[in-house]
Copies of this chain bind each other. A is one copy, B any other.
Amino acid sequence: MTLSKQIHLKTRPQGNPVAGDFDIVEVNIEDPAAGQVLVKNIYMSVDPYMRGRMRFAKPNELLIGGAVGKVVASNNPDFSEGDCVSNGSGWREYFLSDGSDLSKVDPSLAPLSAYLGVMGMPGLTAYGGLLVTGEMKDGETVFVSAASGAVGSVVGQIAKIKGGIAIGSAGSDDKVQQLTQEFGFDHAFNYKKADPLAELRRGAPDGIDIYFENVGGAQLEAALTHIKVNGRIPVCGMIAHYNDGDTLTAGPRNLTEMIYKFVQMKGFVVSAFEDMRGQFVTDMSGWISSGQMKYHETIHEGIDNAPGAFMGLFTGSNNGKMLVKLADD
A interface residues with partner B (beta carbon < 8 Å): 52, 216, 235-238, 241-242, 244, 248-269, 272
Contacts and interface: CB of A to CB of B under 8 A. Distances in A.
What is the count of identical protomers in the complex? 2
Nearest to A251: B251
A269 B241 CA distance: 30
A251 B241 CA distance: 13
A258 B266 contact: yes
B249 A253 contact: yes
Nearest to A220: B255
A269 B259 contact: yes
A260 B256 contact: no
B248 A251 contact: no
Contacts of A250: 250-253
Contact of A262 (B52, B256, B269): B269
A238 B256 contact: yes
Contacts of A237: 259
B249 A251 contact: no
A256 B268 contact: no
B253 A259 contact: no
22 contacts: A52-B256, A52-B260, A216-B256, A235-B258, A236-B259, A238-B255, A241-B255, A248-B253, A250-B252, A251-B253, A251-B254, A251-B255, A258-B266, A259-B267, A259-B268, A259-B269, A260-B269, A262-B266, A262-B267, A262-B269, A264-B264, A264-B265
Nearest to A232: B266
A262 B268 contact: yes
A132 B266 CA distance: 16
A259 B241 CA distance: 12
A213 to B, nearest CB: 9
Given A52-B256, A250-B252, A260-B267, 19 more contacts: A52-B260, A216-B255, A235-B255, A236-B259, A238-B259, A241-B255, A242-B256, A244-B253, A248-B253, A250-B251, A251-B251, A251-B253, A251-B255, A257-B267, A259-B269, A260-B269, A262-B272, A263-B266, A264-B265
A259 B151 CA distance: 15
Contacts of A238: 255-256, 259
